[in-house]
């Protein structure tokens, strides 16, 4: 293998590569770096020649990464993060800081956490902006690729070099419209499974926790409707006879704004613990650590 002449390598091209990973657009990547669209396009051409690979391929669904680009995404992002750490000051003052953080999370957890977070940032760190990117399953890939700084969700096994902190404990309750007939009687397991159910499955496939618990008892229920959106589900319940099993804290929040009632679930379903996760490359960053602590503090208050 021939030795690479690093003297001829423009490290700004790696910054462009990182921006293209995050933006998936030559124009937006250029704007992120203060480059014109033609300059960003020329930079991409130089990057392709340097690495001898097309890296980004335009398809009907937008830009897609080549296998080489996927392999390079994490080491390049870490290299740039390490470089920033070397030259950045170690002190962090939230009141004067200017930064943007990407927090990947599902809509129902965003509802519980983000209103309080953005309110506190306005008081404590008015120069910090937040972006909630489109969800990518459990969002671990977004963290790995550097497309998100933090992810919030339910995680059991995480890849190496990931960190996790629990935010709060959660269980399930039932949700029905406020004048539903079942409210006047005790909700037993027998009449629970006799009702028509609305089920939320974020991925659109498989069973949720209630179905798993019922199966363990040799029972089933009729799922009259299945959707992937936690926030839409209570609104459907409010105008139907369907019953919905929902995380308790989310149900209590939604009941403040729409006409639904919560009932205790007559079934033992495993509790779960939403967590905040981040990659090792950000672990020692003072601004990142400050934001993590703030999110954990808010999570413990829920």
Where is 222: in which H helix or E strand? strand 222-227
Per-residue pLDDT of the chain (302 residues; tens, 9 = 90+): 445 555 556 778 888 888 888 888 888 888 888 888 898 899 899 989 888 899 988 887 778 888 998 888 888 888 887 777 777 656 789 999 999 999 999 889 999 999 999 999 999 999 999 999 887 778 898 898 888 999 999 998 898 889 999 999 999 999 999 999 999 888 999 999 999 999 998 865 656 889 999 999 999 999 999 998 899 999 999 999 999 999 999 999 999 999 999 999 999 998 999 999 999 989 988 999 999 999 999 999 98
Where is 193: in which H helix or E strand? helix 189-194
């Amino acid at each position: 293998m021939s030795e690479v002449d690093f003297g001829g390598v423009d490290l700004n091209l790696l910054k462009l590569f990182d921006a293209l990973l995050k933006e998936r657009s030559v124009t937006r990547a250029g704007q992120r770096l203060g480059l014109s669209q033609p300059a960003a396009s020329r930079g991409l051409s130089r990057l392709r020649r340097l690495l001898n690979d097309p890296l980004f391929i335009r398809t009907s669904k937008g830009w897609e990464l080549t296998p080489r680009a996927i392999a390079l995404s994490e080491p390049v992002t870490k290299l740039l993060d390490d470089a920033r750490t070397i030259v950045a000051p170690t002190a962090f003052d939230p009141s004067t800081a200017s930064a943007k953080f990407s927090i990947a999370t599902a809509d129902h957890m965003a509802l519980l956490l983000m209103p309080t977070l953005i309110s506190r940032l306005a008081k404590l760190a008015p120069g910090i902006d937040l972006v909630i990117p489109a969800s990518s399953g459990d969002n671990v890939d977004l963290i790995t690729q550097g497309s998100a700084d933090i992810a919030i969700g339910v995680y059991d096994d995480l890849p190496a070099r990931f960190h996790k902190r629990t935010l709060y404990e959660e269980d399930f309750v039932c949700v029905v419209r406020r004048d539903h007939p079942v409210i006047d009687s005790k909700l037993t397991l027998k009449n629970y499974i006799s009702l028509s159910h609305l089920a939320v499955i974020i991925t659109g496939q498989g069973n949720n926790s209630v179905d798993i618990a019922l199966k363990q008892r040799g029972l089933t229920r009729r799922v009259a409707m299945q959707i992937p959106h936690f926030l839409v589900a209570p609104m459907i319940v409010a105008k139907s006879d369907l019953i919905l099993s929902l995380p308790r804290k989310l149900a209590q929040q939604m009941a403040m704004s729409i006409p639904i009632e919560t009932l205790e679930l007559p079934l033992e379903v495993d509790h779960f613990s939403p967590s905040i996760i981040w990659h090792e490359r950000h672990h020692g960053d003072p601004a990142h650590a400050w934001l993590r602590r703030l999110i954990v503090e808010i999570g413990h208050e829920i």
